Structure 1
Amino acid sequence: MSDEQPRLPGVGRDLDFERLERGKDLAQEAVQTTATRVGRIATIITGAVVDVAREIGELITDGFEMREAAKRAKDDAARLDRMARERLVDEEDDDPVIGELEQAPVSLQKAIEAPVENEDR
């Protein structure tokens, strides 16, 4: 007799295939799970990059708008200052100069010297 134990025909081969199939299934599951997780992580990172880019763009846009608003405010202030100076010059031209009343037409002198009536009566 030989030292070898009797083998059933095909049993050894079937066991090897089952072990290989289990290994293949395990590897396939690991690759699929890893790919799914990496895909989800990539989606999160992509979304974060998009959000950061959007926020940076809005920040820069806000800066442009603030600069334009400051320029408009400066222009408005300069325009208002110019209008105020022009109004002051116009009002100074309208004020009578000392001695000017004596030279005014008679009707103007009479209007200035006319008595003021009290409206309370």
Structure 2
Amino acid sequence: MAISRHEINKDVLQQSAEAATHTAAEVGSILVNAVRDITSSVGDLATELFEIREAAARAENDNPPENRND
């Protein structure tokens, strides 16, 4: 029994939709991971900046104005 032209067309459409869905899912996963990595990097930078600010404030407090060479 031969497969009808309509069934062949249905199979082509189904496989195309599945391939497109799979590709969209992969791209979505890549984007989600990229956003997560960027967010983590920006958070790490913010932590470093807070630590630098705190260290500068400690240095300022440890060095009274009369000892500075301003």
Question: Shared topology, TM-score over 0.5?
Answer: yes
Matches of residues 1-121 of structure 1 in structure 2 within 5 Å?
18-78=4-64, 81=67
Q: Structure 2: any 5+ residue segments left out of the alignment?
A: none
Aligned to 2:5, the other structure's residue is in SS state helix
CA displacement at 1:49 relative to structure 2: 0.4
Equivalenced residue count is 66
Structure 1 or 2, whichever has the larger Rg, is 1
Higher relative contact order (CA 8 A, sep 6+): 1
CA displacement at 1:32 relative to structure 2: 0.3
CA displacement at 1:76 relative to structure 2: 1.1
TM-score where L is the length of structure 1: 0.50
Structure ranking higher in helix proportion? 2
CA offsets 1:53-77 (integer angstroms, 9 cap, x no match): 1111111111111000000111111
Q: Structure 1: any 5+ residue segments left out of the alignment?
A: 1-13, 82-121
RMSD over aligned Cα atoms = 1.8
